[in-house]
Amino acid sequence: MMGPKQEAQAALFYEFSLEEHVPQDHLLRSIDRFVDLSSIRSYLADFYSHTGRPSVDPELLIRMLLVGYCFGIRSERRLCEEVHLNLAYRWFCRLDLTDRIPDHSTFSKNRHGRFRESDLLRHVFETTVARCVAEGLVGGHGFAVDASLISADVQKQNSSNPEDWAARQIDTINAPRAVREYLDTLDDEAFGAATTAKPKFTAHADPASQWTAARKGPAFFAYSDNYLIDTDHGVILDVDASRSNKTAEVGAMRKMLDRTEERFGVKPDWIAADTVYGSSDNLVWLTLKRQILPFIPVFDKGERTDGTFSRSDFTWDDENDRYICPGGKEMRHTWRTYSDPARNTPIWKARKYRARKSDCTGCALKAKCCPNSEARAVHREKYEAVREFARQCTASEFNPKAQARRKKVEMLFAHLKRILGLGRLRLRGPCGVQDEFTLAATAQNLRKLAKLKPMMAVAG
């Protein structure tokens, strides 16, 4: 028998509970256990006026932003619509059925104002990291660092040569926010002062973004999202935005390591990274200044690809300050004999070690060693001893394990782009980009807590 047609009829009274309609296994229930925003009202107290109309609760705005970044809803206009319709989102935001949703413009007003002035998003992120530490998800022994390119919200059609753009008269008062932020960061090591090399194009709408072809494909404007993670469970300990070049990314790594030790008192025994971080200066900073073992491939231009002997084919004799060539002959940086032996003492500076012309002329390996010169020379870097120590680290038995753990940071970037939808930025300027990266990292850590803690509780 066919049932009667359902007709919607308005009732005078409803008995409804959001708590009963949100499934117990919903992701937001697990995340809510680890969201502690009790301190943000006192944190923001100095940034609110004591008179006037009451503002929107800042905890509500942060909870709505966390919902958006946890579920890949990055449009604030659409986020307001989703929170209005979704019962689970309302429950997480502490909203009743009759409570009004803030207007989407409220987010922009607060983000460009008191949120940024107080660095609130960084405070929320660090609160989440502290919870990860308290829950035992941070071992603190091994870290990994990497950067990923995120497309900027600009088009090549709205760009020009950097010299032509710099020659324009810019009204700093009426200029767009992203342009003003760019001018403010010209001396910042992560942006304007990162490198003296000039890119081919500068985006008018977001001049701080970098024109790059690092993906070996068509060039585009991008920022670098830098992650420092603990390799035990892949918890993001720090996040930083920078331009997309090697100098800026290395500088971001140093800043994140210093900030992590300052904020949480956590310093790693070792760190894993790719060749971008294998420059001499960075290896010296890690090993000598910070006492951290670098499982990082050395950035080395001494390896040849033409079939002749590379620098690694020559044996270094540290005791006698010389190289031994594959033919068994010695190579010195000077063949003079000084009356004062101290003048020939090895010191920390770059040197070139040369073989005798007589040794190379009759050598059977000359065609494979120096076919186009009379004698072979090998350049030794100023801090070659540190570089050699890094090579020993990467040649050790532990290196494969360290490199396998380093893959966790690449998995986080894949999750960031595919699941959270951050393949292209929505905000412009260094501050807007930092806000997006910080919120996304906070969401990833919360999802990590929600995933691991129930499993660990059952296992215990």
Averaged pLDDT for residues 184-188:
75
Is the residue at 323 inside a domain? Answer: no
Q: How far apart are CA 170 and CA 180, in angstroms?
A: 10
Same domain, 145 and 248: yes
Confidence of residue 358 (pLDDT cuts 50, 70, 90): confident
Q: What are phi and psi of 380, to 5 degrees?
A: -115, 125
Tell me which residue range forms the domain holding 163.
Answer: 139-297+407-432
Taking only Cα atoms into account, the Rg of the chain, rounded to an integer number of angstroms, comes to 29
Asked if residue 145 has pLDDT above 60, the reply is: yes
Of 111 and 32, the structure prediction assigns the larger pLDDT to: 32
Same domain, 155 and 258: yes
Same domain, 108 and 155: no
Give the pLDDT of residue 327.
Answer: 87
Strand partners, 316: 323
Averaged pLDDT for residues 106-111:
85
Averaged pLDDT for residues 367-386:
85
Q: What is residue 424's DSSP assignment?
A: B
Asked if residue 21 has pLDDT above 60, the reply is: yes
Q: How far apart are CA 299 and CA 313, in angstroms?
A: 17
Among 203-212, 350-359, 401-410, the range with the most confident prediction by mean pLDDT is: 401-410
Is the residue at 451 inside a domain? Answer: no
Same domain, 197 and 113: no
Q: Which residues contact 279 (CB under 8 A, 6 or more apart)?
A: 246, 250, 299
Same domain, 183 and 289: yes
DSSP 196-216: SPPPS-EESS-TTSEEE-TTS
Q: What is residue 114's DSSP assignment?
A: I
| Overall domain count for the chain | 2
Domain boundary among 48, 83, 118: 118
Is the residue at 427 inside a domain? Answer: yes
- Taking alpha carbons only, the member of 147, 139, 123 closest to residue 235 is 139
Same domain, 161 and 108: no
Same domain, 412 and 293: yes
Over residues 200-245, the pLDDT tens digits come to 888 888 888 888 888 778 889 999 999 999 999 999 999 999 988 8
Domain boundary among 118, 149, 179: 118
Among 37-41, 162-166, 173-177, 303-307, the range with the most confident prediction by mean pLDDT is: 37-41
Q: How far apart are CA 388 and CA 287, in angstroms?
A: 12
Is the residue at 393 inside a domain? Answer: no
Is the residue at 175 inside a domain? Answer: yes
Same domain, 145 and 107: no
Of 141-145, 360-364, 436-440, where does mean pLDDT reach its minimum? 360-364
Over residues 58-81, the pLDDT tens digits come to 899 999 999 999 999 988 999 999
Strand partners, 220: 212
Asked if residue 296 has pLDDT above 70, the reply is: yes
Whether 327 contacts 369, CB under 8 Å: yes
Confidence of residue 457 (pLDDT cuts 50, 70, 90): very low
Is the residue at 397 inside a domain? Answer: no
Same domain, 288 and 198: yes
Is the residue at 10 inside a domain? Answer: no
Of 17-31, 111-125, 135-149, 175-189, where does mean pLDDT reach its minimum? 175-189
Provide the CA 85 distance to its chain's centre, in angstroms: 35
Domain boundary among 85, 118, 151: 118
Give the pLDDT of residue 425.
Answer: 93
Q: How far apart are CA 314 and CA 21, in angstroms?
A: 72
pTM of the model: 0.86
**What is the average pLDDT score of the chain?**
85
Give the pLDDT of residue 5.
Answer: 61
Record the tokens describing residue 34, joined without a space.
Answer: 């680890």
Asked if residue 312 has pLDDT above 90, the reply is: no
Q: How far apart are CA 245 and CA 252, in angstroms?
A: 11
Q: How far apart are CA 242 and CA 192, in angstroms?
A: 10
The b/e string for 422-454 (b: 16+ C-beta within 10 A; e otherwise) is: beebebbbbbbbbbbbbbbbbbbbbbbbbebbe
**Strand locations in 285-419, DSSP E?**
293-295, 315-317, 322-324, 330-331, 351-354, 377-380
- Taking alpha carbons only, the member of 198, 189, 187 closest to residue 248 is 189
Same domain, 68 and 108: yes
Of 408 and 168, the structure prediction assigns the larger pLDDT to: 408
Asked if residue 455 has pLDDT above 60, the reply is: no
Of 348 and 92, the structure prediction assigns the larger pLDDT to: 92
Same domain, 100 and 147: no
| Percentage of the chain modeled with pLDDT above 70 | 89
Over residues 243-277, the pLDDT tens digits come to 888 889 999 999 999 999 999 999 999 999 999 99
Confidence of residue 165 (pLDDT cuts 50, 70, 90): low
Q: Which residues contact 108 (CB under 8 A, 6 or more apart)?
A: 76
Angle subtended by helix axes 429-459 and 177-184, to nearest 10: 90
Q: How far apart are CA 189 and CA 404, in angstroms?
A: 30
Is the residue at 306 inside a domain? Answer: no
Q: How many CB atoms lie within 10 A of CB 275?
A: 12
Same domain, 177 and 282: yes
Over residues 129-144, the pLDDT tens digits come to 999 999 999 998 999 9
Give the pLDDT of residue 460.
Answer: 42
Whether 370 contacts 313, CB under 8 Å: no
Look at the block and give the residue holding tokens 């040649």: 395
